[in-house]
Structure 1
Amino acid sequence: MKINELAPVIASREVEVEASPETIWDIIVAVDSWPDWNSDVKAAFIEGDLAVGTRFSWKAGQLTIRSTVLQMERPHHLVWTGTTTGIKAVHLWQIEKRGEKALVRSEESWEGLLPSILRGTMKRMLSRSIQQTLLYLKREAERRSL
């Protein structure tokens, strides 16, 4: 599964991380720990472990996002949907081993009323958010790999 490539707002970024795909994966799937390493996430709630069909919610800024896992292939591929006021998102994580490092790619699409009306503003916002999250993730994964 991929993001919605026809959505009005799409962003993607990647970063090379000096950590194993397993270390990176463990950080991403521990949803309730997101606020510990990503200061943009104010709270995160999940019951049980992350698996296909698992629902979780999290708060970023003033928005509460309700998400559902659609696909998982440990430790390389994770897709979930998310909804919040005026936005339906699809988020994709891909982690690829590169020697002693890993390449982490994060992609997201937004559709709905707000992304349709405020396309440019929302694309910049999403792009910055993905870039910042990848930097936080890189820092945490490399810290754990020392």
Structure 2
Amino acid sequence: MFEAINWPADMTPSRSPIHFTNELEVAVSPETIWSLLLDTTNWPLFYPGVQEVHLLDGHKALQAGTRFETNLAGQDVAASVLEFEPITRLAWGGGPKASKESRAHHAWIITPTRRGVHLWTEETMQGPLWLELAKEAPDIFWRTHEKLLQDLAKVAVEYETRFRK
């Protein structure tokens, strides 16, 4: 059921001082989750702290290679999509503009279940800015992603309820 993340060699969990996973099962279709993740105009509905996402290079939704800018963890971030397997896997990597030596890799795995979908998100982080934030609140990134999953599930259920009628 679970497939390993295709980590960039230098961002593997064993090489990253910050590594965490979060997971949740929700009674919606994988297509609903996928569509909410790809259309970044939805992100402010469920992604803590995100007010807007700027897709670059003329892209209208996330796809393989899409570069984007947003604000995550209180930081202006530049990132690009590194993995893109429709309805099952999505990952991006990048880092804060204020700290070029700080980087992160965030992956999603979406697995259909009998009751809906199992969401798995995993992130590795490296660099001084992330380490400093983690010193201030050691579980801040994990807690933020727990909220992200809960809010995404809520939005997905509301979306499916609205469009099933």
What TM-score do the two structures reach when normalised by structure 1? 0.89
Q: Is the 8 A contact 1:91 1:109 kept in 2?
A: yes
Cα distance change on mapping 1:8 and 1:17 into 2, 3 Å? same
Bigger radius of gyration: 2
Q: 4+ residue stretches of structure 1 with deviation over 3 A?
A: 36-39, 115-123
Work out the CA distance in 2 between the residues paired with 1:90 and 1:34.
Answer: 18
Can you list the C-alpha shifts for 1:12-53, whole angstroms capped at 9, x where unaligned? Answer: 100111100000000011113211343521221114132211
Contact 1:57 1:65 in 2 (8 A): yes
Question: Quick one: which of 79, 84, 87 aligns to 1:75?
Answer: 87
Quick check: 1:89 aligned with 2:104?
Answer: yes
Q: Distance in 2 between matches of 1:10 and 1:145?
A: 32
Give the superposed CA RMSD.
1.9
Q: What amino acid does structure 2 have at the position aligned with 1:92?
A: A
- Percent of matched pairs sharing the same residue: 25
Give, as a single letter, the amino acid of the residue that structure 2 aligns with 1:38. Y
When residues 33 and 119 of structure 1 are mapped into structure 2, their CA distance, relative to the original with a 3 A threshold, is closer
2:48–2:144: 8 Å Cα contact kept in structure 1? no
Pair 140,79 (structure 1): closer, same or farther in 2 beyond 3 Å: same
Gaps of 5+ in 2: 1-5
- 1:35 pairs, out of 44, 66, 79, with 44
Unaligned runs of 5+ in 1: none
Retained in 2: the 8 A contact 1:80–1:91? yes
Deviates more, 1:75-84 or 1:27-36: 27-36
Aligned mates of 1:119, 1:40 — CA distance in 2: 17
As a proportion of its length, which structure holds more strand? 1
In the alignment, structure 1 residue 4 sits paired with structure 2 residue 41: no
The more displaced of 30-39 and 134-143 is 30-39
2:53 is paired with a residue whose SS is strand
Letter in 2 for 1:127: W
Per-residue deviation, residues 58-102 of structure 1 (Å, max 9, x unmatched): 113531111100111110100110210332000000000001310
Determine if contact 2:45/2:155 at 8 Å carries over to the other structure.
no
Find the residue that maps to 1:51 and give its secondary structure: coil
Q: Map 1:97-108 to 2 at 5 A.
A: 97-108=112-123
